Structure 1
Amino acid sequence: MKIETLRLYEDREDVTLTSYILDDSAELSASAKRPAIIINPGGAYITISDREAEPVAMKFCGMGFQTFVLKYSVINGNENAWPKNMDILPARNKTVEYPAALLELGKSILLIKCRAEEWHIDITQIGICGFSAGAHNCTLYASSWFRSVLTKGLHAMEEELHPAFCIAGYPFVDWELEYNLGLDEATRNAYRWMYFDFFGDADPIPERMRECSPNYLVTEKTIPTFIWTTSTDQAVDPRHSIRLVSAMAECGVPYEFHIFGEGQHGLALADITTSQNEDDINNTVAQWIPLVDRWLKRIVRFV
Structure 2
Amino acid sequence: MIDLTQTIPLWDGAAPHAAQGREEEMPHLIPFIQPGSDSAVIVCPGGGYGFLADHEGAPIAELLNRAGISAFVLKYRVAPHQQPAPLSDGQRAIRHVRAHADQYGIDPSKIAVLGFSAGGHLTAMLGTAYDPGQPDHEDPVERASSRPDRIILCYPVITMGHYGHAGSRENLLGADASEALITAYSAEKQVKADAPPAFLWHTSEDGLVPAENSLRFALALAEHGIPYELHVFEKGSHGLGLADDMPAVRVWADLCLTWLKNQGW
Q: Which structure shows the bigger proportion of residues in helix conformation?
A: 1
Question: Which residue number in structure 2 is paired with residue 258 of structure 1?
Answer: 231
Q: How far apart are residue 8 of structure 1 and its match? A: 2.2
Alpha-carbon distance in structure 2 between the residues aligned to 1:223 and 1:174:
18
Q: Report Cα offsets for 1:227-257 as digits up to 9, x if no partner.
A: 0000000110111111111111111111000
Structure 2 unpaired stretches of 5+? 15-23
Question: Which residue number in structure 1 is paired with residue 125 of structure 2?
Answer: 140
Alpha-carbon distance in structure 2 between the residues aligned to 1:116 and 1:242:
33
Task: State the AA in 2 paired with 1:20.
Answer: F
Question: Which residue number in structure 2 is paired with residue 170 of structure 1?
Answer: 155
Please list, as runs of the form range in 1=range in 2, the aligned pairs for 1:114-193 lying within 5 A after superposition: 114-146=99-131, 156=142, 160-178=145-163, 191-192=166-167
Alpha-carbon distance in structure 2 between the residues aligned to 1:142 and 1:45:
18
Q: How far apart are residue 14 of structure 1 and its match? A: 4.9
Aligned equivalent of 1:108, options 86, 93, 102 = 93
Task: State the AA in 1 paired with 2:114.
Answer: C
Contact 1:195-1:203 within 8 A present in 2 as well: no
Question: Which residue number in structure 1 is paired with residue 20 of structure 2?
Answer: none
Please list, as runs of the form range in 1=range in 2, the aligned pairs for 1:268-279 lying within 5 A after superposition: 268-271=241-244
Pair 1:285-2:249 in alignment: yes
Alpha-carbon distance in structure 1 between the residues aligned to 2:154 and 2:206:
11
Question: Which residue number in structure 1 is paired with residue 21 of structure 2?
Answer: none
Aligned equivalent of 2:34, options 16, 22, 25 = 22
Task: State the AA in 1 paired with 2:242.
Answer: L
Pair 1:225-2:198 in alignment: yes
Aligned identity (percent) is 30
Larger radius of gyration: 1
| TM-score (norm: length of structure 1) | 0.76
Give the alignment's Cα RMSD to 1 decimal: 2.3
Question: Which residue number in structure 1 is paired with residue 177 of structure 2?
Answer: 204
Q: Report Cα offsets for 1:102-137 as digits up to 9, x if no partner.
A: 111111112112322222111110100000000000
Contact 2:130-2:145 within 8 A present in 1 as well: no
Alpha-carbon distance in structure 2 between the residues aligned to 1:144 and 1:207:
15
SS at match of 1:121: coil
Q: How far apart are residue 33 of structure 1 and its match? A: 5.2
SS at match of 1:285: helix
Q: Report Cα offsets for 1:175-232 as digits up to 9, x if no partner.
A: 11147xxxxxxxxxx834x333211x21322222111111001121111000000000
SS at match of 1:68: strand
Question: Which residue number in structure 1 is paired with residue 18 of structure 2?
Answer: none
Alpha-carbon distance in structure 2 between the residues aligned to 1:50 and 1:3:
19
Given the superposition, is the C-alpha separation of residues 45 and 147 from structure 1 closer, same or farther in structure 2, using an over 3 Å criterion?
Answer: farther
Aligned equivalent of 2:52, options 48, 52, 71 = 48
Aligned equivalent of 1:60, options 64, 67, 74 = 64
Alpha-carbon distance in structure 1 between the residues aligned to 2:41 and 2:160:
26
Alpha-carbon distance in structure 1 between the residues aligned to 2:184 and 2:99:
30
Task: State the AA in 1 paired with 2:178.
Answer: I
Given the superposition, is the C-alpha separation of residues 285 and 118 from structure 1 closer, same or farther in structure 2, using an over 3 Å criterion?
Answer: same
Task: State the AA in 2 paired with 1:47.
Answer: F
Alpha-carbon distance in structure 2 between the residues aligned to 1:135 and 1:217:
15
Q: How far apart are residue 13 of structure 1 and its match? A: 4.2
Alpha-carbon distance in structure 2 between the residues aligned to 1:66 and 1:60:
7
Question: Which residue number in structure 2 is paired with residue 3 of structure 1?
Answer: 5
Task: State the AA in 2 paired with 1:34.
Answer: D
Question: Which residue number in structure 2 is paired with residue 299 of structure 1?
Answer: 263
